[in-house]
Chains A and B, each alone.
Chain A
Amino acid sequence: MTQSSFNGSALPRNPAGPLSRRSLLRGAAIGAGAVTLPSLLTACGSGPGGDGKTVTLGSNASDAVPKKAYAQAFSAYEKQSKKTVEVNTVNHEAFQENINRYLQGSPDDVFMWFAGYRMQFFAKKGLLTDISDLWKGFDGFSDALKKQSTGEDGKQYFVPYYYYPWAVFYRKSVFEKGGYEIPRTFDEYRALAKKMDQDGLDAIAFGDKDGWPAMGTFDYLDMRANGYDFHISLMSGEESWTSPRVKNVFDLWRGLMPYHQQGANGRTWQEAAQSLQAKKSGMAVFGLPHPGQQFGATDREDLDFFPFPEIDPAHGQDAVEAPIDGFLMSKKAKNPEAAEDLLKYLATPEAELRYLRSDPNNIAVNESADTSSYNALQKKAVELVSGAKQISQFMDRDTRPDFASTVMIRAIQEFINNPNDVDGLVRDIERQRKDIFAAE
């Protein structure tokens, strides 16, 4: 509503010229689509095309560190191949929000995206180029990675680049001082949290103002209690949210709530990480890059993590939540050969390491990537992921974006405000699930 935007193409070019009914209707139709900024994005996509030497690349890496790291990877490719990579960087959130219109307009040849459901959705809509042939030549990708790069039709679309596992982070010095042990089971975890609470700490740092950070905790609770397969079919809308298994997840979480930092809905994840850094809280569920950014260089040595504890022995600590970022090739690529060549390079361990040298908060996906330059946390993260039986992405990557953003963000915040009405909460979610997944 307040997003009034101006789409130049909706206006007649020549004001005095005749304006047919059809062009008026077309103008109205475009005007209807003009609620966002499609022209802005499509403008970014119109690079020089078809000369075989230039490949355009849509980037959502708008933050300084990843932007620089990507630039170095691309320039290494340019030197090696004598081709040009033209990078169009768009603000991270804006890129995500406009992705539908971006892909329907004139997208770049190659663009950055995420593995999992969100990628499969575009593949199903026919907006991506099938790169199964390229994949046959790829080396060093595990089966779990291949599965995450595959569309529902069994073809590969995605070139994975790096990932970052989620785990429970803590400061070694805090654990030493309090004499705390790494918990392996959920009961130990709860007992530890209680002990920290008695010692005057906020046991679990917690911030969910942005709506997504708490999803990581839900995902882990669900995967540990019900297993990966149940979690994925729950995310795909195939399970009922009112089932006792889902209620159990919320009940487990409710049992931990007293040990979470209060007022999470008013706290950003950065503030939560800062309280971990300031030794005001003992632990926090985060992705690998998150707490590190809030720690000074000297404190970073002190940061460590352990895998989310086991709930049901049948599922152990099998699943790891490790969102994968990587590259896709759009269906409308103007320069498919050059794009494939770039993708081939990006799938090599050298390309991944080139990136990680400037952004050591992630780990390379390629198994043959040399890990000797990794810091201790990265090495531990490699271990965690390679020991995983299944890899999940993240709630907002494993389910429909409309379900994650319009239903689950609100539901989890509601739960944080009032953890006691689990029945009412799951009924609300279930009604909306039926509605949203029925829209297919």
Chain B
Amino acid sequence: MPLPTMRPAPRARAGRRGPRRFTRRDLAVLGVLLGLPVLLDLAIVWGPTLASIGLSFTSWDGLGEIRWVGGKNYATLFTDYPQFWPAVRNNLLWLGFLGLVATPFGLFLAVLLDRGVRFSRFYQSTLYMPVVLSLAIVGFIAQLVFSRDQGALNAVLANQDHPVDWLGDPDLNIWMVLIAAAWRHTGYVMILYLAGLKSVDASLKEAAAIDGASERQTFFRVVFPTLRPVNVIVGVITVIEALRAFDIVYAINHGRNGLELLSVLVTDNIIGEASRIGFGSAIAVVLLTVSLGFIATYLVQELRGEKQT
């Protein structure tokens, strides 16, 4: 699981305890083992991050000189870039939909399966199946289903005269894409919760039952709180999925016409032939700021939790 952790901190403490006790060789080994990850971290994570922040105050086409323009990129972004606010809105929608619809639905399915419905193995594998597909492929599948003229859905609905333009209508297509994304996300969440539920001590539920708790009470008061570690992981995954969403909309229509996302705007401006690198970096910094908000919240929670235990 790609969880950000605070590994270096305890190690640093261990190092402070008494460097004299280590031989020269120990120090060398420690230095390499510690130094390497730190350097990699600096070079691969922090270097580009700081470079992006720096570039976001410049104007650069990738070929000529880099010119300092101050906050102009940000001013343009907030006022004169019509794609920006729709992209922010869509990222938030993504977060809301995955967090409030797809994730609870995954939990619901996990609970159902955990109670041992008939054919549960079959359901389990069917629901989990989409998770092995990359989101780009989910995007292609969505096109086969939702295409206006040749899609499966309109063929089933059979309204040839006024077919619904599922992916071309900018008020509608975001919801179709969210459904497709949720199709995959739900399975993922379900399998995580299922694993969590299996590991809940059965005696807890028994004890609750003996104390006269209803099923609902047992779940919300007893089982759910013991799932805290899983909840944290699921929360993190949901946020990551929502913020890094990119491939599915890019596969469908390059993230245009109602499917704008911050990640797509960054790509369009920096990677394409456009090469508005300074401007694209400014968008990237906005995305970074949003991400940092979530990361900070998560870390604060985690550290507080660690202290309590």
Chain A residues proximal to chain B, CB less than 8 Å: 1-3, 10-12, 15-16, 19, 24, 27-29, 31-32, 34-36, 96-97, 99-101, 103-104, 125, 127, 209-211, 262-267, 271, 275, 401-402, 405-406, 409-410, 413-414, 417, 428, 431-432, 435-436, 439
Contacts and interface: CB of A to CB of B under 8 A. Distances in A.
B178 to A, nearest CB: 16
Contacts of B63: 100, 103-104, 125, 127
Contact of A267 (B42, B62, B148): B148
Contact of A401 (B39, B64, B267, B273): B273
Contacts of B193: none
Contact of B269 (A99, A262, A267, A406): A406
29 contacts: A1-B244, A1-B246, A1-B262, A1-B267, A1-B287, A2-B244, A2-B246, A3-B271, A10-B43, A12-B39, A28-B50, A31-B43, A31-B47, A31-B51, A32-B55, A36-B271, A103-B63, A104-B63, A125-B64, A210-B254, A265-B168, A266-B173, A267-B149, A413-B257, A414-B257, A428-B82, A432-B81, A436-B276, A439-B59
A100 B61 CA distance: 9
Nearest to B76: A435
B149 to A, nearest CB: 6
Contact of B43 (A28, A103, A267): A28
A16 B29 CA distance: 10
Interface string B135-163: 00000000000011110000000000001
Interface residues of B, number: 58
A19 B47 CA distance: 15
Given A10-B44, A211-B256, A405-B273, A266 B61 contact: no
B85 to A, nearest CB: 13
A267 B275 CA distance: 28
A17 to B, nearest CB: 10
B272 A263 contact: no
Contacts of A267: 148-149, 168
A265 B163 CA distance: 14
A120 B285 CA distance: 32
A409 to B, nearest CB: 6
Contacts of B269: 402, 406
Interface string B252-292: 01101100001100111111111110000000100100000
A34 B51 CA distance: 11
Given A32-B52, A210-B254, A265-B170, A401 B43 contact: no
Contact of A410 (B36, B76, B82): B82
B225 interface: no
Given A31-B43, A263-B148, A2 B173 contact: no
B274 A32 contact: no
Nearest to B269: A406
Contacts of A35: 48, 270-271
Nearest to A94: B271
A24 B169 contact: no
A435 B62 contact: no
B168 A209 contact: yes
Which one of B244, B267, B274 has the greatest number of beta carbons of chain A within 10 Å? B274
A280 to B, nearest CB: 9
Nearest to B168: A266
B80 interface: yes
Nearest to A435: B76
Given A100-B61, A436-B276, 8 more contacts: A15-B32, A32-B51, A96-B273, A211-B253, A265-B165, A265-B257, A267-B148, A267-B149
Contacts of A435: 76, 80
B44 A417 contact: no
A264 B169 CA distance: 9
Best-surrounded residue of B167, B253, B263, B272 (most CB of chain A within 10 A): B272
Contacts of A1: 244, 246, 262-263, 266-267, 284, 287
B40 interface: yes
A34 B284 contact: no
Contact of A31 (B44, B61, B166, B262): B44
User: Which are the 9 A-B pairs with shortest beta-carbon distances?
Assistant: A266-B168, A28-B47, A32-B51, A402-B274, A263-B165, A401-B273, A2-B246, A265-B168, A1-B263
B82 to A, nearest CB: 5
A413 B256 contact: yes
Contacts of B166: 266
A401 B247 contact: no
A211 B256 CA distance: 8
B83 interface: yes
Contacts of B46: 28
A126 to B, nearest CB: 9
A428 B80 CA distance: 7
A437 to B, nearest CB: 12
Contacts of A431: 80
B271 A97 contact: yes
B288 to A, nearest CB: 9
B43 A99 contact: no
A414 B273 CA distance: 22
Contacts of A275: 149
Nearest to B284: A1
Which of A12, A27, A36, A209 has most chain B Cβ within 10 Å? Answer: A209
A435 B83 CA distance: 15
A78 B254 CA distance: 40
Given A27-B43, A266-B166, A97 B272 contact: yes
Nearest to A122: B63
Contacts of A436: 276
A31 B48 contact: yes
A263 B267 contact: no
Contacts of A24: 39, 42-43, 47
Nearest to A413: B257
Nearest to B273: A401
Nearest to B151: A266
A281 to B, nearest CB: 11
B165 A32 contact: no
